[in-house]
């Protein structure tokens, strides 16, 4: 059992991970400014975790860029039980927005991470799991993508993630004792099978899965499939979708390894190793929901690759972790959430 600080714990991936970490018996302090989430997600996490978790989750509303807010979060841990590790989800993640507002992205993602690391250092806490992304690989030269592939992001969001990865490497090299996992997620989707927590994008979704589920539920008319002429079997783009519950398990495994092993810097892909095309996702969602998902093929989207799939072997070797849930479960659980919460948390 450990005392953990979870930044961005109210968000999509953070809320599912908080639930799993509470179920594993850890004590959590969540620091979130609710910029892209609602406190309701954490209420539901507590409801799902049951009565034994009620006094093991402290929520601090605050910003990772604020030394004072971080201080409040570190101080929220129970007396005599200081924070031993941080899981750092907080950040901004929309590629298009990052192109329009690079200063904001660099500020939250890089300056926020720098401030967090300074506070960790001040508190003698040197264990960190960081949410990175396969976006750091940019347009990959080959797929499946292994961790040794070139880091060559192609947009401000990706640049800011790659910069934090570099900062973490510099820090680990500067001082003994850091235990750091840089986890490069592929395409997280789905929801907790209860349908009580899930992904709640603001406005028009940028990503495929939330768009498809909003079409299925009748919130949007038609999905635009970005490109039907990719060099793939059915002409639509291929991605490595990972169930958010598998991703949460990956975080738990990474924490266990970091806390058990000598200090180290890990860089790991979290993906399934299996690719699915846009049209396959549409069909699987139609089956799971029993609804039709009208779609039309349009021009390719700028900055897209034909196919990005993880080589997940290093994560399996280092963490003893692999994905267990298939595309059908991603669609089923995503649909359960969407149907029960057609307007998300109602932010
Ligand atoms: P999310 O937006 O649902 O969650 C991020 C959380 O961080 C939100 O609760 C938000 O309110 C909070 N936050 C944002 N700025 C903050 C700040 N300055 N101070 C405190 N809290 C702040 O996103 P998510 O999908 O859960 O992603 C979590 C992390 O994983 C992000 O760092 C993201 O870049 C990374 N990631 C996500 C994906 C994906 O497809 N969802 C893929 C790869 C990497
Ligand atoms: C996108 C981001 C990536 C980020 C990831 C997770 C881009 C170029 N990349 O990845 O940096 O890490 O989200 O947040 O934005 N698609 C459609 N119609 C849609 C939406 C998507 O056809 O309305 C297609 C895309 O062309 C792609 C696939 O669906 O082939 C998946 O798209 P998306 O969910 O946006 O994820 P990525 O592009 O992989």
pLDDT (average), residues 158-184: 98
- CA–CA dist 210, 216 (Å, integer): 10
- Which of 7, 91, 155, 158 maximizes ligand 1 atoms within 8 Å of its Cβ, making it the mutation to test the pocket? 91
Question: What SS3 class is residue 91?
Answer: coil
Please report, for the domain that includes residue 12, its CATH number. 3.40.50.720
Tens digits of residue pLDDT in 10-39: 999 999 999 999 999 999 999 999 999 999
251 belongs to a structural domain: yes
Note the pLDDT of residue 198: 98
Q: Is 345 inside a domain boundary?
A: no
Q: How confident is the model at residue 49 (pLDDT cuts 50, 70, 90)?
A: very high
Total number of domains in the chain:
1
Structural domain that includes position 275: 3-340
Assigned token pair, 138: 């940019």
88, part of any domain: yes
Residue 53 CB burial class (10 angstroms; 0-12, 13-18, ≥19): buried
DSSP string, 323-336: ----HHHHHHHHHH
DSSP 8-state class, residue 62: -
Longest dimension (CA), the chain: 60
Per residue in 115-151, pLDDT (tens digit) is 999 999 999 999 999 999 999 999 998 999 999 999 9
CA–centroid distance, 212 to ligand 1, in Å, is 21
Residue 237 lies in a domain: yes
Per-residue pLDDT tens for 206-253? 999 999 999 999 999 999 999 999 999 999 999 999 999 999 999 999
Average model confidence (pLDDT) for the chain?
97
The torsion angles phi and psi of 223, rounded to 5 degrees, stand at: -85, 135
Residue 347 domain-assigned?
no
Residue 346 has pLDDT above 90, yes or no: no
Is residue 132 in a domain?
yes
pTM for this entry? 0.98
Instruction: Output the pLDDT for position 283.
Output: 98
Mutation test of ligand 1: which of 16, 36, 67 has the most ligand atoms closer than 8 Å to its C-beta?
36
Please indicate, yes or no, if residue 329 is contained in any of the structural domains: yes
Distance 206 CA to ligand 2 centre (A): 7
Residue 124 within a domain: yes
Q: pLDDT: is 203 or 165 the higher one?
A: 165
pLDDT on residue 111: 98
């Amino acid at each position: 059992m450990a005392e953990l600080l979870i930044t961005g714990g109210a968000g999509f991936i953070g809320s599912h991970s908080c639930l799993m970490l509470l179920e594993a018996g850890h004590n959590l302090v969540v620091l979130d400014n609710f910029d892209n989430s609602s406190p309701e997600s954490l209420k539901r996490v507590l409801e799902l975790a049951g009565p034994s978790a009620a006094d093991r989750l402290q929520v601090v509303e605050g910003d990772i860029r604020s030394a004072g807010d971080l201080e409040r979060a570190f101080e929220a841990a129970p007396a005599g039980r200081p924070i031993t590790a941080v899981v750092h989800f907080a950040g901004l993640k929309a590629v298009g927005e990052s192109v329009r507002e690079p200063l904001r992205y660099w500020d939250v993602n890089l300056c926020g991470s720098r401030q967090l690391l300074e506070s960790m250092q001040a508190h003698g806490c040197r264990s960190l799991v960081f949410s990175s992304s396969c976006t750091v690989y940019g347009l990959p030269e080959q797929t499946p993508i292994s961790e040794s592939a070139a880091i060559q992001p192609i947009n401000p969001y990706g640049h800011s993630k790659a910069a934090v990865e570099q900062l973490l490497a510099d820090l680990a090299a500067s001082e003994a004792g850091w235990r750091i996992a840089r986890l490069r997620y592929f395409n997280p989707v789905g929801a907790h099978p209860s349908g009580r927590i899930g992904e709640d994008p603001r406005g028009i979704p940028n990503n495929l899965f939330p768009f498809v589920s909003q079409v299925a539920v009748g919130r949007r008319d038609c999905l635009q499939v970005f490109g039907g002429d990719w060099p793939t079997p059915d002409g639509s783009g291929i991605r490595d979708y990972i169930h958010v519950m598998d991703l949460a398990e990956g975080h738990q495994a990474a924490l266990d390894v970091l806390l058990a092993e000598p200090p180290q810097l890990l860089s790991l892909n979290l993906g399934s190793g299996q690719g699915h095309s846009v049209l396959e996702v549409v069909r699987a969602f139609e089956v799971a929901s029993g609804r039709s998902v009208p779609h039309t093929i349009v021009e390719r989207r700028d900055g897209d690759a034909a196919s990005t799939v993880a080589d997940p072997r290093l994560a399996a070797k280092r963490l003893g972790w692999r994905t267990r849930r298939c595309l059908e479960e991603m669609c089923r659980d995503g649909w359960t959430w969407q149907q029960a919460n057609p307007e998300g948390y109602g932010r």
